[in-house]
Amino acid sequence: MMMESRLIALASAALPVLLLPGTSVAVRVGTKSKAADQTASASWSQDVSNGAFSDNSDFFSSTHGVFQTHPERGPYASRGGSGGSSSGGRGGGAGRNTFSTKSKHLNYRTSSTEELKKNPSLSSPEECARACREGEPPRICYYHFTLEYYTVLGAACQVCTPNATNTVSSHCQCVLADGVERGILTANRMVPGPSIQVCEGDKVVVDVENHMEGMEVTIHWHGVWQRGTQYYDGVPFVTQCPIQQGNTFRYQWVAGNAGTHFWHAHTGLQKMDGLYGSIAIRQPPSKDPNSNLYDFDLTTHVMLLSDWMHEDAAERFPGRLAVNTGQDPESLLINGKGQFRDPNTGFMTNTPLEVFTMTPGRRYRFRMINSFASVCPAQLTIQGHNLTLIATDGEPVHPVLVSTIISFSGERYDFVINADQAPTAYWIQLRGLGECGIRRVQQLAILRYARGPYQPSSNPPSYDYGIPQGVALNPLDAICNNRRNDAICINQLKNARDIDRGLLAERPDVKIFLPFRFHVYTPEDLFSPHTYDRHLVAPNGDHVISLIDEISYLSAPSPLLSQYDDINPDQFCNGDNIPPDCGQNCMCTHKIDIPLNAVVEVVLVDEVQQPNLSHPFHLHGYAFNVIGIGRSPDQNVKKINLKHALDLDRQGLLHRQFNLPPGKDTIAVPNNGYVVLRFRADNPGFWLFHCHFLFHIVIGMNLIFQVGSLSDLPPVPPNFPTCGDHKAEISLDIQNDYPKQ
């Protein structure tokens, strides 16, 4: 079959060869697998090129020619219709009444399918991954994530090889990654985890069953605004208690804002060890201002980029001083696939590279997600093809043509590729920039034309001699005030949607300046007796903690959203309310109150000023408009700080532009520069705002925006888990506390 041919072509052998860590021993992987797992990605597109589809074929068509294969009818049986609307089954508010006050642990072998079998109102992941039609009733899309410790190159790889491409589910439990054996964390024994692909307006239900021994977890749905479902945003001790080992937590939210998003663990460093996956919320073509630019929006054309270590991320936290210092990754992955060259032996694994297939003459929408966890920017370039950018972070923009895209952790970019080149195979190059440039970290994938060869004829691009680059999106130099021929800055993109006029007023209702930096400990301070300050060991050996407006975020003992009254008010602080004895590493729950419906302007100021380091900030619950990006115009000022930013603002020298500012939810603040963003605070709740670098989150580069008051929030869901400190009074009555035997 096609998939078998592709694996052979990529591996130059019948079986992929994989590298065991610390050795040059090569191991071959078994071939036993089911035919269903050998289906090539987008292989049906060859039929499309022949026009071989009709009204009764297995294709859904929409008015602009989006085709997707019909979902397989598995053991769940046909449910017919839309799979239930919000008025039936577990839809709408009715679902809340079905919670049981008693629970039992389900059998490991049946829990993942139990709910779908017993509830005919639910649609399976395969049924929900469809083309979206105008007027079609919404579905209730059910997913079950089983989280557990797992292994790259485990015994499952002797049974089968994984599905061809980014998948909603997989019958094969082999994880290959880049061919280097290591322990990982998985959802449903997949890396990336299951892809959630639904239509705007669908209800998404995800049961997260935690079987990670000794670990707690939450899952955040990055980019989904959670209007009306604030309790399911997935932030530990802000919107929920972490899910304890052995427990299941049911997330329920409406896919209210279309676009390319993703999900990931929001606890500790688990995201970097494999707990992440894609989300694509599609909409009917009439609702997409750029739908005329592409013919296909395939489930298989999601491009999930991630950095990858060859050991647990916790091995690098707080960090080492001598061997394997810093937190930069050894490798990168594209849809969980890649190859790795051992820098010591020169041996290279030949695990499968990801392959994206196109039919000549057609135009394809690709959905790119940066799921990096380290500080490295990612640069994506495709040989021989320009990219027409049409959306960022789920928000459509006026189309612009670029040659390469630079993205940061948490960002998403949608672009169109026109299959108008010679029908052969082309390299896709992903390079890690910044700190990743030291190791020359990169990964490759293949863009091929149907019926063409599987392998590019040219040599693979190297880190230093890569694919030629022309116009770059999101340049690192932050020269964004003037139009230029070699680059396009994010603030130069134009929003393709109508913009709230209040956001364009000269003066916002609330203006918040947020400088951020690191506090560097002295060894005497950090290691003084009976003190246990958290810290990160930076690549240069400094021991640091993150500060936003001179505060390092500390989680409350209970979720603010559901147990606000259980939290001591002294736990909270902000720049106007810092405890008098807080010190240089002030740690408290940083919370800024914002009136409901206010127009808010946030000015982020980079006081870190470390070369080649730009911090991406992500806002939960909203998309904001990017009003300005830049550095100080004063050539005499070598390093920007809060005072200088305030002076520039008073003089009108902070660059702002109000001509269709683009929408985003994640934005990189240029090194030694600033970003100005605005949003309408019309979604009440407690929303995290934080740097999206994983190792900066765990040392406090976060804060909470409280929008509105508690009375503006929906009621806490019935039987919602609670948590908190237990510090009972110490009894001095030893005799009665411990009865005699």
The 3 state secondary structure assigned to 75-92 is CCCCCCCCCCCCCCCCCH
pLDDT of residue 8: 26
Q: What is the DSSP string of 313-360?
A: GGGGSS--SSSS-SS--SEEEETTB---B-TTT--B--PPPPEEEE-T
Structure tokens at 166: 């980014």
Determine the Cα–Cα distance for residues 397 and 387; give it in Å rounded to an integer.
14
Alpha-carbon dihedral of residues 145, 150, 151, 156, nearest 10 degrees?
Answer: -70
Tokens 């506090």 label which residue? 519
Asked, colleague to colleague, whether 110-473 and 501-707 share their fold, the answer is: yes
Architecture of domain 501-707: Sandwich (2.60)
Query: Considering only CA atoms, which of 12, 337, 415, 352 is closest in space to residue 177?
Result: 337
Structure tokens at 172: 């094969």
- Amino acid at site 739: P
pLDDT of residue 563: 98
Domain spans of the chain, in order of start: 110-473, 501-707
Task: Say if CB 580 and CB 620 are below 8 A apart.
Answer: no
Fold of the 110-473 domain: Immunoglobulin-like (2.60.40)
* CB proximity list for 446: less than 8 A, separation 6 or greater: 353, 354, 355, 356, 425, 426, 427, 428, 454, 455, 456
Determine the Cα–Cα distance for residues 517 and 603; give it in Å rounded to an integer.
14
* Structure confidence by residue, pLDDT tens digits, 105-115: 556 667 778 89
* Structure confidence by residue, pLDDT tens digits, 47-103: 333 333 333 332 222 323 333 332 333 433 334 333 333 333 333 333 334 444 566
Determine the Cα–Cα distance for residues 38 and 669; give it in Å rounded to an integer.
43
Determine the Cα–Cα distance for residues 273 and 37; give it in Å rounded to an integer.
25
* CB proximity list for 331: less than 8 A, separation 6 or greater: 178, 180, 307, 308, 309, 310, 338, 340, 441, 443
Give the torsion sign (CA, 307, 312, 318, 323). Answer: negative
Q: What does each C-alpha distance from 607 to 346, 355, 419, 600 come to in angstroms?
A: 40, 41, 44, 22
- 10 Å Cβ neighbour count for 436? 26
Residue ranges of the chain whose pLDDT lies below 50:
1-100
Beta strands in 343-476, from DSSP E residues, in sequence order: 355-358, 363-370, 378-382, 387-392, 395-402, 404-407, 412-418, 425-432, 442-449, 472-473
Encode burial over 667-684: b for 16+ CB neighbours within 10 A, e otherwise. Answer: bbbbbbbbbbbbbbbebb
- Phi, psi of 658, deg, nearest 5: -115, 15
pLDDT of residue 609: 77
- Does the predicted model carry a pTM greater than 0.85? yes
Q: Could you tell me whether strands 685-691 and 404-407 are parallel, antiparallel, or unpaired per DSSP bridges?
A: unpaired
Determine the Cα–Cα distance for residues 260 and 7; give it in Å rounded to an integer.
29
Alpha-carbon dihedral of residues 172, 174, 177, 182, nearest 10 degrees?
Answer: 150
Helix/strand/coil for 293: helix
pLDDT of residue 105: 59
- 10 Å Cβ neighbour count for 665? 28
Give 582: exposed, middle or buried? Use CB within 10 Å, 0-12, 13-18, 19+.
middle
